[in-house]
Amino acid sequence: MHETFGALAKKWGKVPNLYAMMAHRPNVLKNFLPFYNAILNEGSVDARYKELAFLKTAMINGCEY
């Protein structure tokens, strides 16, 4: 788990809260990361546009976090 946190901290400068929360269930985090990476990094839509879609969806749903 420390290895995973180290990689996340290196990538973003900190461990995002979503991943820190999932770390309470290491198996969930271990399986989520490859799934999320596949969604974000594969396909014909650029990752930055996918991120914008995530943010817009959160705004539409009233997610303040």
Task: Report the number of distinct structural domains present in the chain.
Answer: 1
CA 54 and chain centroid, separation: 11
pLDDT number for residue 41: 87
pLDDT number for residue 64: 77
- Answer yes or no: is 55 within a domain: yes
Considering the entire predicted model, what is its pTM? 0.64
Residue 33 CA to residue 7 CA, distance in Å, equals 12
pLDDT number for residue 1: 67
- Answer yes or no: is 65 within a domain: no
Find the domain containing 51 and state its range.
2-60
CA 2 and chain centroid, separation: 17
Q: Which amino acid appears at position 61 of this protein?
A: N
**CA-based nearest residue to 15, from 1, 36, 27, 25:** 1
Q: What is the pLDDT of residues 8-65, one digit of tens each?
A: 888 888 888 888 888 889 899 889 989 988 988 899 999 899 989 989 999 999 987 7
